[in-house]
């Protein structure tokens, strides 16, 4: 077997058979293509976060307009935040278990997960403690976090996330110009910026899985 697979067309410093080398390079490329950057895009989490921001921001705008509901804003966001975090952790564990079962633990998936955990932790810390000095409107902070996070995901993995991220970053400008509807504008932007790319990626991922199967 070893003899059969040895690259004996190469001696220590030169190639005896260039055609065989080209064949082996093709083989290496095919192996790399099959494994490189193969990862679970974690689209369910992004759909959940998109829905959270879409509903949360719209309800916040409504509560601010109706002054008697203002006290509901904070508890509502705590509940939504706990739901988002729980889904994120659950999906992270599911993804890790699935990867271990299939035998392919993706490095890119781990890196992207870590980036998102750091971003979300950052966003959670800013409104409290000494950081609150720098804290302005939470809606803008979260739009910036999701815009940045999706852009990074788009650059490193699927381009669809990048479009979502850029759309959110543009919406920050729009919201700063039309301040009375800032929450609704940012809510729609974050919501659709997460949900639409997630649905496209879900479709592509399913098609890719069917193709591989």
Secondary structure (3-state) at 11: coil
The region of 33-41, 125-133, 134-142, 156-164 touching other proteins under the rule CB under 8 A is 33-41
- The size of the interface with other proteins (CB under 8 A), counted in residues, is 34
Angle in degrees, CA 73, 146, 57, rounded to 5? 25
Closer residue to other proteins in complex, CB, 12/210: 12
**Residue window 82-101: x/- pattern of binding to other proteins, with contact defined by CB under 8 A:** ---------------x--xx
Closer residue to other proteins in complex, CB, 58/110: 110
Based on its alpha-carbon atoms, the radius of gyration of the chain, rounded to whole angstroms, reads 23
**DSSP for 157-179?**
S-HHHHHHHHHHHHHHHHHHHSG
Q: How many residues does the chain have?
A: 213
- Euclidean distance between CA atoms 101 and 168, whole angstroms: 36
Closer residue to other proteins in complex, CB, 47/152: 152
| Out of 105, 114, 170, 174, the residue judged to bind other proteins by CB under 8 A | 105
Q: Does 31 bind other proteins (CB under 8 A)?
A: yes
Q: Does 102 bind other proteins (CB under 8 A)?
A: yes
Phi-psi region of 117 (alpha: psi -120 to 50; beta: other; left: phi over 0): alpha
Answer for the pair 135, 141: CB distance below 8 angstroms, yes or no.
Answer: yes
Q: Does 211 bind other proteins (CB under 8 A)?
A: no
What are the Cα distances from residue 26, in Å, to 1, 21, 23?
20, 9, 5
CB of 37 to other proteins, least distance (A): 6
Q: Which residues bind other proteins (CB under 8 A)?
A: 1-2, 5-7, 10, 12-15, 18, 21-22, 24-25, 27-28, 31-32, 34-38, 97, 100-108
């Amino acid at each position: 077997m070893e003899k059969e697979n040895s690259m004996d067309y190469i001696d220590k410093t030169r190639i005896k058979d260039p055609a065989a080398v080209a064949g082996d390079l093709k083989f290496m490329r095919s192996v790399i293509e099959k494994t490189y950057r193969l990862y679970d895009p974690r689209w369910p989490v992004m759909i959940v976060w998109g829905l959270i921001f879409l509903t949360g921001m719209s309800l916040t705008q409504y509560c601010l307009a109706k002054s008697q509901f203002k006290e509901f804003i904070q508890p509502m966001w705590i509940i939504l935040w706990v739901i988002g975090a729980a889904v994120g952790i659950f999906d992270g564990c599911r993804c890790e278990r699935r990867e271990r079962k299939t035998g392919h633990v993706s490095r890119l998936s781990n890196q992207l997960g870590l980036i998102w955990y750091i971003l979300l932790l950052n966003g959670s810390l800013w409104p409290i403690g000494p950081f609150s000095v720098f804290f302005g409107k939470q809606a803008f902070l979260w739009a910036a976090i999701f815009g940045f996070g999706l852009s990074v995901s788009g650059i490193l993995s699927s381009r669809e996330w990048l479009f979502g991220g850029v759309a959110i970053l543009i919406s920050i400008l729009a919201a700063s110009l039309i301040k009375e509807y800032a929450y609704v504008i940012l809510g729609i932007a974050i919501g659709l910026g997460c949900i639409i790319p997630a649905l496209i990626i879900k479709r592509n991922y399913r098609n890719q899985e069917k193709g591989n199967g």
